[in-house]
Amino acid sequence: MRNLDFTPLYRSFIGFDHLASMLDNASRQDKSAGYPPYNIELIDENHYKVSMAVAGFTEEQLEIRVENNHLIVAGKKPEQQEDKQYLYKGISERNFERKFQLGDHVKVIGADLENGLLHIDLEREIPEALKPKTIAINAKNRTLDVKE
């Protein structure tokens, strides 16, 4: 029997928590590591935080944009011709681009860079027209006219 790995779907969909959790539970395989590593945190029902480890990148070298319900985070280092000779090079300095699929009505509300971590705050804001509404039942007291 073939096992399907839904882990990439879970990691890149924000705002589809229940669907992603069901798919993740159905497929319990090891999560593959990518560059740069990141976390997706559920703050509450309508707030999320994406944290990415972007050590060595400055604010000017990072770009965050939203296009067609995709959150795109890119980092670009300027090309440097240095005459450094490394005995071991474990710090990655490569360019990257990460894409996350955003759920309906999820928007980016802020971002900050702190201690090598890029934090992106997201909020799901459902329009009033799409929110569930409770309809009150008005009971009218009716009296019957009884003629004697």
Residue 79 lies in a domain: yes
Q: How confident is the model at residue 81 (pLDDT cuts 50, 70, 90)?
A: low
3-state secondary structure of 102: strand
**Residue 48's domain spans which residues?**
36-128
Residue 71 lies inside a defined structural domain of this protein? yes
22 touches 40 (CB < 8 A): no
In a domain, 111, yes or no: yes
Q: For residue 44, is it within any domain?
A: yes
Whose tokens are 């560059």? That residue is 35
Q: What is residue 135's predicted lDDT score, i.e. its pLDDT?
A: 86
Is residue 8 in a domain? no
Write down the H helix ranges in the chain.
7-12, 17-26
% of the chain beyond a pLDDT of 70: 72
pLDDT at 90: 81
In a domain, 19, yes or no: no
For residue 110, CA distances in Å to 20, 94, 120, 124 come to: 24, 25, 6, 13
Asked whether 57 and 77 are in contact (CB, 8 A), the reply is yes
Dihedral angle at the C-alpha atoms of 46, 108, 92, 79, nearest 10 degrees? 180
Query: Could you report the per-residue pLDDT of 7-59, keeping only the tens digit for each?
Result: 666 666 676 655 555 555 555 443 434 789 999 999 998 999 999 999 889 99
**Cβ contact 100:71 at 8 Å:** yes
Report how many domains make up the chain: 1
pTM, whole model, 2 decimals?
A: 0.64
- Does residue 133 form part of some domain? no
Lowest mean pLDDT among 20-34, 40-54, 79-93, 130-144: 20-34
Whether 135 maps to a domain, the answer reads: no
CATH assignment at residue 106: 2.60.40.790
- Rounded distance between C-alpha atoms, residue 127 and residue 140, angstroms: 33
